[in-house]
């Protein structure tokens, strides 16, 4: 082989080695852990303060559903509770009357017992007073049974009032976590229902780069491992960030469409999630690459 052929071959080899060095270990796209917030009550949306792209703080009031029917139901239950409480007070008064009557009978019994010892009273009088005391005890027991039944009714009403109060509280929809509204599914004055989605929100401060690695690459990665993340800076250069591997799929799957080379399309790959702090430049769906 002559020198004039050897020099181009060496150049091609070096170019090839340099090109392979620049290749990333895995490719994918950015996504987020989004949350869909749904209605927990039925009724008209009196207000709905969420717009796509809007940043919401955790605990911020976003929507209010009409509570008229629930408030009226709570008023009805409170009226029933008041009536039941009055019945309980009446029953307690009856018990107190019976206890006082028993107290009086016990006084008479003690007096008769002394008279009986002195022969100034008969056994029948003593037996009669004992019978009256037994009757009062049975009346008190009967009234206590009524009291238990009415108290159970009161407990049911209290539970119903608590349920209505909980339903009323769910008519106010608060944002569960800080994030940006990605999609909005309803508008003010629309009729909503339990479980109907209202909006989708996600924390954009940290993005997830889902990439796919081959089986022979799998031993090179581990959870909590820091990796280099590359994103497009412009048409020719990349920008480097740092990410942390947070999840590795337990099972392999077919290579996704994002990998186009024929050699890799026939392979099985493992999905890997890499968490990357977002400085504002990362967007959902943006392509990314990683280097171990």
Segment 60-105, tens digit of pLDDT: 999 999 999 999 999 999 999 999 999 999 988 998 999 999 999 9
Residue 41: pLDDT over 90: yes
pLDDT at 257: 57
Q: What is the Cα–Cα distance from 26 to 59, expressed in whole angstroms? A: 38
Q: What percent of the chain shows pLDDT beyond 90?
A: 62
Structural Rg of the chain based on CA atoms: 40
pLDDT of residue 181: 97
Considering only the top CATH level, what class is 35-66+171-202?
Answer: mainly beta
- Round to whole Å and give the CA distance between 27 and 210: 8
Cα angle 246-247-253, degrees, rounded to a multiple of 5: 150
Which backbone phi and psi does 225 adopt, to 5 degrees? Answer: -75, 135
At the topology level, CATH places domain 25-34+204-291 in: Elongation Factor Tu (Ef-tu); domain 3 (2.40.30)
Residue 290 CB burial class (10 angstroms; 0-12, 13-18, ≥19): buried
Q: How far is residue 221's CA from residue 243's CA, in Å, rounded to a whole number? A: 13
> pTM for this structure?
0.69
| Tokens (6 digits) for 35 | 């949350």
Confidence of residue 19 (pLDDT cuts 50, 70, 90): very low
Q: Which of 46, 88, 96, 95 is nearest to 67 (CA)?
A: 46
Mean pLDDT of the chain: 87
Helix residue spans in 62-122 (DSSP H): 68-118
pLDDT greater at residue 243 or residue 148 = 243
Q: Which residue in 245, 262, 261, 260 sits closest to 211, CA to CA?
A: 245
Cα separation of 79 and 211, whole Å? 62
| Distance (Å, whole) CA 133 – CA 159 | 39
Helix axes of 68-118 and 123-169: crossing angle, nearest 10 degrees: 170
């Amino acid at each position: 082989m002559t020198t004039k052929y050897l020099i181009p071959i060496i150049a091609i080899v070096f170019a090839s080695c340099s090109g392979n060095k620049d290749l990333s270990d895995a490719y994918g796209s950015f996504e987020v852990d989004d949350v869909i917030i749904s209605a927990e009550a039925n009724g008209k949306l009196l207000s709905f303060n969420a717009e796509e792209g809007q940043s919401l703080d955790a605990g911020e009031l976003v929507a209010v559903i009409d509570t008229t029917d629930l408030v009226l139901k709570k008023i009805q239950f409170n009226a029933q509770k008041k009536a039941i409480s009055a019945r309980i007070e009446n029953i307690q008064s009856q018990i107190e009357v019976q206890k006082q009557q028993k107290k009086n009978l016990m006084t008479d019994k003690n007096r008769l017992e002394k008279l009986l010892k002195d022969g100034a009273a008969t056994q029948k009088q003593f037996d009669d007073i004992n019978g009256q005391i037994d009757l009062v005890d049975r009346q008190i027991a009967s009234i206590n049974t009524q009291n238990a039944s009415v108290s159970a009714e009161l407990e049911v009403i209290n539970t119903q009032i608590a349920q209505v109060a909980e339903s009323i509280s769910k008519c106010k929809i608060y944002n569960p976590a800080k994030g940006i509204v990605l999609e909005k599914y309803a508008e003010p004055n629309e009729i909503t229902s339990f479980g109907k989605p209202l909006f989708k929100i996600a924390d954009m401060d940290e993005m997830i780069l889902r990439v796919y690695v081959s089986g022979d690459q799998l031993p090179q990665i581990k959870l909590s491992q820091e990796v280099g993340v590359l994103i497009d800076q412009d048409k020719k250069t990349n920008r480097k960030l740092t990410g942390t591997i947070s999840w590795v799929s337990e099972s392999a799957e077919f290579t996704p469409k994002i990998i186009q080379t024929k050699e890799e399309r026939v392979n099985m790959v493992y999905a890997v999630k890499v968490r990357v702090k977002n400085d504002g430049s990362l967007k959902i769906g943006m392509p990314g690459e990683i280097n171990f």
